[in-house]
Chains A and B, each alone.
Chain A
Amino acid sequence: QSVLTQPPSVSGAPGQRVTISCSGSSSNIGGGYDVHWYRQVPGEAPKLLIYGDIHRPSGVPDRFSGSKSGSSASLAITGLQAEDEADYYCQSHDSRLSGSNVFGTGTTVIVL
């Protein structure tokens, strides 16, 4: 059971904006640890989308943006496209139990 909670799914029509939340606590996101986001197409390996809360790796479109406030973080996708349909995971660090990297529960983006 993950300590980072995400909604099971979010949906939107092409061109719309959707956001995915990642809710944590004071031992992880709220403790100031970086949040990273990954996208995973079923059957493929995850791909880094956002690192260090807000930074995009080279090659990631600026339609994807990250933010963080308190013990939560969010990933926003603007100009939704059919190819954005995938699973998205947040990741951070949790300081409990000798420390551990933790992933969120995952969110499936559905393009209507």
Chain B
Amino acid sequence: QLQLQESGPGLVKPSETLSLTCAVSGVSVGDFSYYWGWVRQAPGKGLEWIGSIYYTGSTYYRPSLQSRLEMSVDISKNYLSLRLTTTTAADSGTYYCARHQKFDWLYAFDVWGRGILVSVSS
């Protein structure tokens, strides 16, 4: 059964780097059939697409985050990673990793992790 599980620190100090991983089970992140992505949700707010990545390392980032964002895949360990530098309180929220239905980042997200709550605060 396909499962995604986010992990990382629940608290990050302002200006520091937020690093999250997403462990994938049930399918290889190296499967050419799928793109993978990250979505976040500020407390009480709507969903916000962060970026998407293919197993080749090809990435598409939210333009407003592009200068601070780095996403990667580790095929050997079967997980995804997200790094967001120079964080502020506006980066607080629940972060989800998710799978695109097919091999294009325009496809819908059909499988989601449970999410991880991150707070950026001193």
Contacts and interface: CB of A to CB of B under 8 A. Distances in A.
B17 interface: no
Contacts of A40: 47
Contact of B46 (A33, A36, A93, A103): A103
A105 B47 CA distance: 8
Contacts of A47: 112
A89 B108 contact: no
Interface residues of B, number: 22
B47 A51 contact: no
Size range of the interface on A?
20 to 34
A36 B112 contact: no
B112 A100 contact: no
B46 A51 contact: no
A57 B49 contact: no
B110 A89 contact: no
Contact of B106 (A33, A38, A97, A106): A33
